[in-house]
Amino acid sequence: MNFIENGSVTSPKGFKGAGICGSVKPSNTTKRDIALIASDVICNTAAVFTKNLVKSSAITVTQQNIENGKAQAVVVNSGNANTCNADGIEKAERMCELAAEALNIDKHDVIVASTGVIGQPLPIEPFEKSVPELGKIISEDGGTDVAEAIMTTDTVKKETAVSVEIGGKTVTIGAVAKGSGMIHINMGTMLSFVTTDAAISSEVLKSALSEAVEQSYNMVSVDGDTSTNDTLAILANGLAENEEIITRNEDYRAFTDALIAVCKSMAKKLAKDGEGATKLIVCTVSGAKTVIDAKGVAKAVICSSLVKAAMFGSDANWGRVLCAIGYSGCDVDVNLVDVSFKSKAGEIPVCKNGAGIEFSEELAKEILTENEIEIIVNLNDGDSNAEAYGCDLTYDYVKINGDYRT
């Protein structure tokens, strides 16, 4: 399995993309905000959505459209969430219609997604004007424009692709995602679209996606809020010509491992670019009694506002890590817990058997000043492991969210 340089959602065979500025938010006159992704042929598809009861109309329409496990295109916008609007369904359906017309496909084969402010009516004019335009310019080089078009408060584009040998054929998986606030564990967090030329049945694709989500997007938290618009969809068009994967065989394993790598890579990108974040925080837990305990502890640590603020201040305040472990609700013997901090500047143990040990504050500061920090927790009580991805809590998070609508 190899990561592809400058890989994107259009890296797999037969996928095209495009993104332009349609001024969905009237004040936006420069940034791309409407995008199309399309496959040359119909795809098997699987998707995961927010578990929030308040849902974007885009999700309702997408759920209907992909009920048969098939899709061929994605139409997506930033700048408006199309959530809590009386006419939201109508607008989401119109977005699908416009995409279908532009691509000459069936409107029920379109996945629609929106992201942005909740509760403001979605203006449809930008789509009437821009979607036909997108149909004309869509191309194999358009992946990066899609990545830009779905950004909201993201500061960097998030895309990747890997290739993997499956049954003698090269299969490619590409992905695009946007963060970067309202992100929390155990949901289909954020918007992300994954494309692949693998031949794989939609049923098995669903299982692969669910495996991957568990270890990646579901282990990310930026701020503990769960968006109303979270959508993760994968489209598989079969153009790699591998023997179709229809059971959980060796090929399934190879495909799923590659998908996990893609999703983990995207999860880290999301965490690192969390709203206002200056640092990626990875919490690695080992020695747990069960995987559920390992995950629970890892998530509690990266979700703790106090741990996050300490990481922002490069403060080796390991007591807060212990505190988060203590309230995680997991089966933990706190008297066995070891904690270290690690970055490319080195690694420093700070807690052994649940109590503080002497350490060099100077070295700790040096380690924590880096922009990718690992918090290593060994529960010394079993064989299970997990990893969770978060970011620091900064002034800028507050600034960005103090006046988002204007």
- Of the candidate spans 18-26, 45-53, 146-154, 165-173, the one that interacts with a second copy by CB under 8 A turns out to be 45-53
- Cβ proximity to a second copy: between 60 and 170 the closer is 60
Q: Answer whether the bond into residue 207 is a cis peptide, omega within 30°.
A: no
- Cβ proximity to a second copy: between 293 and 374 the closer is 293
Is 362 a residue that touches a second copy (CB under 8 A)?
A: no
User: Contacts with a second copy in 244-303 (CB under 8 A)?
Assistant: 303
- Cβ proximity to a second copy: between 69 and 326 the closer is 326
Query: Where are the extended beta strands (E) located within 265-370?
Result: 280-288, 338-343, 346-352, 355-356
Please, how many CA atoms are within 13 Å of residue 138, restricted to the half-sphere of its CB?
A: 27
> What's the DSSP call for residue 121?
P
| Chosen residue from 10, 11, 130, 227 binding a second copy by CB under 8 A | 227
> How large is the greatest C-alpha to C-alpha distance in the chain, in angstroms?
68
Is 393 a residue that touches a second copy (CB under 8 A)?
A: yes
Is 345 a residue that touches a second copy (CB under 8 A)?
A: no
Report the C-alpha gap between 240 and 1 in whole angstroms.
Answer: 15
Measured between alpha carbons, how far is residue 318 from residues 63, 89, 100, 328 in Å?
A: 44, 48, 54, 15
Among residues 172, 189, 231, 256, the one annotated as catalytic is 189
Is 53 a residue that touches a second copy (CB under 8 A)?
A: yes
- What phi-psi label fits residue 241: left (phi over 0), alpha (psi between -120 and 50 degrees) or beta? left
Is 117 a residue that touches a second copy (CB under 8 A)?
A: yes
Is 113 a residue that touches a second copy (CB under 8 A)?
A: no
| Chosen residue from 156, 246, 334, 347 binding a second copy by CB under 8 A | 334
What is the nearest approach in angstroms of a second copy to the Cβ of residue 30? 24
- Cβ proximity to a second copy: between 249 and 305 the closer is 305
| Chosen residue from 118, 164, 301, 379 binding a second copy by CB under 8 A | 118
What is the nearest approach in angstroms of a second copy to the Cβ of residue 246? 36
- Whether 144 is catalytic: no
- Cβ proximity to a second copy: between 78 and 196 the closer is 78
The 10 Å Cβ neighbour count of residue 29 is: 8
- Looking at the DSSP assignment, which residues form a beta bridge with residue 288? 384
Total of chain residues touching a second copy, rule CB under 8 A: 63
- Of the candidate spans 37-45, 103-111, 163-171, 395-403, the one that interacts with a second copy by CB under 8 A turns out to be 395-403
- Looking at the DSSP assignment, which residues form a beta bridge with residue 236? 44, 196
Is 402 a residue that touches a second copy (CB under 8 A)?
A: yes
What is the nearest approach in angstroms of a second copy to the Cβ of residue 86? 5
Report the C-alpha gap between 153 and 269 in whole angstroms.
Answer: 14
Asked if residue 161 lies in contact with residue 266, where contact means CB atoms within 8 angstroms, the answer is: no
Number of H helices, E strands in the chain: 11, 15
Is 228 a residue that touches a second copy (CB under 8 A)?
A: yes
Is 323 a residue that touches a second copy (CB under 8 A)?
A: yes
Name the one residue in this structure whose structure tokens are 């449809």. Answer: 124
The 10 Å Cβ neighbour count of residue 86 is: 8
Asked if residue 229 lies in contact with residue 396, where contact means CB atoms within 8 angstroms, the answer is: no
Report the C-alpha gap between 185 and 357 in whole angstroms.
Answer: 32
| Chosen residue from 13, 16, 32, 55 binding a second copy by CB under 8 A | 55
Report the C-alpha gap between 71 and 39 in whole angstroms.
Answer: 9
- Cβ proximity to a second copy: between 106 and 381 the closer is 381
- Cβ proximity to a second copy: between 27 and 406 the closer is 406
| Chosen residue from 140, 225, 243, 250 binding a second copy by CB under 8 A | 225
Report the C-alpha gap between 362 and 394 in whole angstroms.
Answer: 22
Is 319 a residue that touches a second copy (CB under 8 A)?
A: yes
- Of the candidate spans 70-78, 153-161, 179-187, 241-249, the one that interacts with a second copy by CB under 8 A turns out to be 179-187
Residues 6+ apart with CB under 8 A from 226: 50, 51, 52, 182, 183, 184, 187, 189
- Residues annotated as catalytic (active site), given as ranges: 189
Residues of this chain that interact with a second copy (CB under 8 A) are 51-55, 81, 83-86, 117-121, 181-182, 184, 187, 223-228, 303-306, 309-310, 312-313, 315, 317-320, 322-327, 332, 334, 351, 354-356, 393-395, 397-406
